Amino acid sequence: MKTSFCALLFEKEIRRVDMYVSALFKDKSRTYIQRLIEKECIMINNKIASKNDKVRRWDELSVTFETDKMTIESENIPLEIIYENEDFAIVNKEAWINVHPVPWFWGNSWTMVNALLHHMKWLSVIGWIERPWIVHRLDKDTSGVIIIAKSDRSMHSIQVLMNKRLVSKTYLAVVVGIIKDREGYIESYIGRDQNDRKIMTVVNPTNPKLAKTKFKVLWYIDNAYSLVEVDLLTWRTHQIRVHFSSIGYPIIGDKTYGIPKINEEIFNEYWLSRQFLHAYKIAFDLFGKSYSFTWELKKDLKSIYNKVKFI
C-alpha cells in the first residue's frame, strides 16, 4: 500500500527520515520504518531513501507499506456520525468497541473500522488494510468524539497537527474522592509496567515518556466523587487513567487502575460497568478553518452525571 505526501516542517527544521515517518504513522514502530527503508520502500523527491537521509520542508515523500494478511470485513454496526465534510468526519464512539482490529481471536471483528467500512464505503486505506483513516484512538471502554480522515491530504495534515499538539482534546471523568482544589496539574513519566506489559505505570516504567495532564473540578457527586474536565497536554497510552490513579483519585469503573470494591458499588447503584471517561470535545484548525465539536455523554454515563452537585 503506497501513500505520498509533502513534508510539513518548519522552515529550518531537519528530521531523519525514519524518525519523521514513524512520528507521522504512530501505529508503526521505528524498527518497522527502518525495515521499509532497507527494502527500498521509502522515497524522498523520487529517490530511494537511505537510513541516514534527512527530510526538509516541502520534500516529497512516498511510503509503500507492507500489506498485512488480516482480512477485515464491513459490518453493519451502529455508528454515530456527528459531522462530515469532504476532508474528515467526526464520530461519537461507543464504549465496548475497539477503534481498530487487534491481533487476537476475533480481533478483526466488531471494531470501528468494520463499522466505517460499512457506513463510509468510499474509505480507502492507509498503512495497512485493517486501519483505514484512523487518525487517533480511544480506549475500548472510553466513549466520545474521534476524527476520521477522508483523504491522503487530510490524513497527513491532521497527523501533523497531532504531532505538533495542535489538536485540543478534552475529556469528562468521574473520579473516586473529593478533590478540593478547583484546578490541578499532573506531570510524570509513564511507561509499560515491568511485570505486566498490558498496563502502564508511573513507578519505574519501561521506556518512560513524559506525560502532562491538566484538569478542572466541575462538580461533586454524592459527596464521594468528583466530576473533572481533563485537558491532555501530551498523549500517552492510558494517560488520564494512570495519572488520576497515581494521585489517589482513580476513575470510577476502571477495571485496570480503579478500586474493585468501589467499582462494584457503582455498578450496583448505577449499573455502570465501564470507566466513566468520555472524550466530549475536540478542536483544531484545518485548511484555514477552525473546528470545534462538543458532544453529549453516552446514556450509561448520564445516570451518574444527573446527580452532580454544583460547586
CA atoms within a 13 Å half-sphere pointing along the CA-CB vector of 288: 0
Collapse the DSSP code of 145 into the 3-class scheme (helix H, G, I; strand E, B; otherwise coil) and give the result. Answer: strand
Question: Among 159, 110, 145, 147, which Cα is nearest to 130's?
Answer: 110
Question: Which stretches within the chain are classed as H helix?
Answer: 17-24, 30-38, 112-119, 152-163, 239-246, 260-270, 299-305
Question: Which stretches within 148-210 are classed as H helix?
Answer: 152-163
Cα separation, 62 vs 49, in Å, equals 10
Is 139 among the catalytic positions?
yes
Cα separation, 307 vs 219, in Å, equals 10
Given the residues 139, 141, 254, 300, select the one marked as catalytic: 139
* Strand extents, DSSP E, 7-133: 14-16, 42-44, 47-48, 54-56, 60-64, 80-84, 88-93
Phi, psi (5° rounding) for residue 197? -70, -5
Please, are residues 267 and 132 in contact by the beta-carbon 8 Å criterion? no
Give the three cell numbers for residue 134: 484512523
Question: Among 72, 80, 52, 48, which Cα is nearest to 61's?
Answer: 48
- The DSSP code for 273 is -
Give the three cell numbers for residue 272: 455502570
Q: Which are the catalytic amino acids?
A: 139
